[in-house]
């Protein structure tokens, strides 16, 4: 009853193109996930620092940004960008651009919260000591607070990266050919939903589980 030949025959399309995005092909889960993680984290650092800023005209908008995006579904954000940006710019945006923009903007709110919590986890006395030694505010951040904060952030950062990696499957809703969409395309031709969807579940699982294993090793090293 279980027909595994459908997986063998379409392995190249599913894994090489759908997951990795290789082979002169626009698509791929990793090609979307890696830039989304990097850019989302970078924007998240700014959001997190902005939330802690003393000036209210910086911290209030940053707080609103975080609260807004944490209160709406990602699917909604993807549709916003998909419908609105082409209307504003009067140029068609490829699915890749829409999906990447949506993930970066959405996940920056979550990364921002992690950065903020990480910075706040550094004891206040550290900052006072650094100031007493004669460091400027920027130097205190750069040499004292951030190195400790980043270590404290590692577990939540990895969890969020895994969440983002799984979320990239939602790009298939607007037609971006990632692993999920690739399975849908094959299924439309072969009608083997059980095998195909279970297979991509295992592929996603291997990726996310290995991410969490690598992270656990990192967590142990710095005390």
Partner 1 sequence: MSYQFNWSVLWSGQSGGWLLQGLLTTLELSALAWVLAAALGITSGAMRTVPWRPLRALATLYVEFFRNVPLLVWMFFWYFGVPPLLPMTIREWLFDHEAEFWAAMFALGVYHGARMAEVIRSGIQSIPRTQFEASVAMGLTTFQAYRLIIVPIALRLIVPPATNESLNLLKNSSVALTISVAELTFQTRQIETYTAKAIEALTAGTLIYLVLCVGIATVMARVERRFAIPGLIARGG
What does the binding site for partner 1 look like in residue numbers (CB under 8 A)?
67-68, 70-76, 79-80, 83-84, 87-88, 162, 166-167, 169-170, 172-173, 180, 183-184, 187, 193-194, 196-198, 200-201, 204-205, 208-209, 212
Angle at alpha carbon of residue 203, lines to 187 and 33, rounded to 5°: 100
103 touches 165 (CB < 8 A): no
Q: Is the dihedral of CA 195, 198, 200, 206 positive or negative?
A: negative
Work out how close the CB of 135 gets to partner 1 at its nearest, in angstroms, rounded to a whole number.
Answer: 29
As a whole number of angstroms, the distance between CA 43 and CA 114 comes to 12
- Toward partner 1, which CB reaches closer, 140 or 172? 172
- Toward partner 1, which CB reaches closer, 107 or 167? 167
- Toward partner 1, which CB reaches closer, 11 or 83? 83
Work out how close the CB of 131 gets to partner 1 at its nearest, in angstroms, rounded to a whole number.
Answer: 25
Work out how close the CB of 139 gets to partner 1 at its nearest, in angstroms, rounded to a whole number.
Answer: 30
- Toward partner 1, which CB reaches closer, 157 or 170? 170
Buried b / exposed e over 146-182, threshold 16 CB at 10 Å, is bebbebbbbebbbebbbebbebbbbbbbbebbbbbbb
Work out how close the CB of 138 gets to partner 1 at its nearest, in angstroms, rounded to a whole number.
Answer: 30
């Amino acid at each position: 009853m279980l027909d595994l030949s459908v997986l063998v025959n379409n392995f190249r399309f599913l894994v090489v193109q759908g997951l990795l995005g290789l082979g002169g092909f626009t698509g791929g889960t990793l090609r979307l996930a890696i830039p989304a993680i990097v850019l989302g984290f970078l924007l998240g650092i700014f959001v997190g620092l902005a939330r802690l800023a003393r000036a209210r005209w910086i911290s209030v908008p940053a707080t609103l940004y975080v609260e807004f995006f944490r209160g709406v579904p990602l699917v909604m954000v993807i549709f916003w960008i998909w419908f609105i940006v082409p209307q504003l710019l009067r140029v068609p945006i490829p699915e890749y651009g829409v999906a990447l923009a949506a993930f970066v903007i959405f996940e920056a709110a979550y990364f921002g919260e992690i950065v903020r919590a990480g910075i706040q986890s550094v004891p206040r006395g550290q900052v006072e000591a650094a100031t007493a030694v004669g460091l400027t505010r920027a130097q205190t951040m750069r040499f004292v607070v951030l190195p400790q904060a980043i270590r404290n952030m590692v577990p939540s950062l990895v969890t969020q990266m895994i969440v983002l990696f799984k979320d990239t499957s939602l790009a298939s809703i607007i037609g971006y050919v990632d692993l999920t969409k690739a399975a849908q395309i094959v299924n439309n031709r072969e009608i083997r939903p059980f095998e195909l969807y279970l297979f991509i579940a295992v592929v996603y699982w291997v990726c996310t589980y290995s991410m969490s294993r690598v992270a656990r090793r990192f967590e142990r090293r710095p005390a």
